[in-house]
Amino acid sequence: MSDSVILITASPALADYWADSLGLQDAVRLADLAALNRHGVATDSLVLVDLAQQHVEEQDIVQACRHCRVLALSSQPSDAEGLYWLQCGAVGYAHAMSTGDLLQQMFETVAAGGTWVGRSIMQQLCARFGSRLPATPASPLAAKLSERELAVVEALRQGKANKEIARLLDISERTVKAHLTSVFQKFGVEDRLQLLLKLTGG
């Protein structure tokens, strides 16, 4: 898989850390997004981008995100920066120095077609997309769900975290996760954001 993975950072130490954590010693390494767009990489390559670069043109971000699956990694993550990159088309946003185990989880999630973002950003995105759903979903998709699963989706569309959903519905957090897993399977999605996008027709 390393031939379709590109590491973009001006820091050789950071590139080494990512490569060692993910077992990608042979991954292509580039200095910036402009180089990626000039390099002519395979469509759907997985690109890890260090956001510590001084200045990145928005057109380079959008072009990279259009052709590749971009995981944006920041040494000083913020919700505003994460939302910006996700709006440009990135499939994930996280801390550049995440632990090796966490980097592996992120990598596997986005490689499988999922989205990776922190809890705060996920809640904002769920609330944003969830607000587009009618108060009581009447779509044929919603007909697939049990009454309890509909209640979980309703709480999810408000941007609530699993713990808040559990408290609201007076069930355990484990039960919330079980309902979400069932709902994800019914709709063929990997995460809550993909679910809400599917329910909104996005």
pLDDT digits (tens, 9 = 90+) for 96-107: 999 999 999 999
Q: Which residue has the higher pLDDT, 125 or 81?
A: 81
How many Cα atoms within 13 Å fall on the side-chain side of residue 43? 2
Q: Which residue has the higher pLDDT, 152 or 54?
A: 152
pLDDT at 3 over 50: no
Which residue reads 């959903």 in tokens?
165
Structure token pair of residue 191? 């995460």
Pure H helices in the chain: 12-22, 33-39, 58-67, 79-88, 100-111, 119-130, 147-157, 162-169, 173-187, 192-199
Q: How far apart are CA 151 and CA 199, in angstroms?
A: 14
Q: What pLDDT band is residue 2 in, cutting at 50, 70 and 90?
A: very low
Q: Average model confidence (pLDDT) for the chain?
A: 84
Q: Are 115 and 91 in contact (CB under 8 A)?
A: yes
pLDDT at 132 over 70: no
| Contacts of residue 167, Cβ cutoff 8 Å, sequence gap at least 6 | none
Task: Name the nearest CA neighbour of 176 among 140, 141, 136, 149.
Answer: 149
